[in-house]
Amino acid sequence: MDIPLWILLVPLAFIVAFTALFLFFNIFHLARYGVVGRGAIALILVYIVSYLFVFVLGVTALLDIKWTETVTLRDILPFTGGSSSSFGL
């Protein structure tokens, strides 16, 4: 059975959505309940920049992979004698 590699991106998309939601709630809390001042604004900027940094870094790493390729169960599971015979966890 052929499994497309892009299937790995599905759980990642959920995690990205989940973390983005949490980021939003963090920023919302700071904007709503924080004390007026440069500190809260600086913190919100740090949150956005740090998240974007990790996100862009991740996307850059993911772009190097050919997601259109397919793999078989033999490739994935070591005990079925897949292409990576030295694999063993």
**Phi and psi dihedrals of 2, rounded to 5?**
-85, 135
Q: Does 29 bind other proteins (CB under 8 A)?
A: yes
Q: Does 84 bind other proteins (CB under 8 A)?
A: yes
Please give the DSSP secondary-structure letter assigned to residue 1. Answer: -
Q: Does 56 bind other proteins (CB under 8 A)?
A: no
Q: Does 79 bind other proteins (CB under 8 A)?
A: no
Q: Which of helix, strand or coil describes residue 28?
A: helix
Q: Which of helix, strand or coil describes residue 86?
A: coil
Q: How far apart are the first and last CA of the chain?
A: 23
Query: Under the rule (CB under 8 A), what is the footprint of other proteins?
Result: 5, 8-9, 11-12, 15-16, 19, 22-23, 25-26, 29-36, 39-40, 43, 47, 50-51, 54-55, 57-58, 61-62, 65, 67, 69, 71, 75-76, 83-84, 86-88
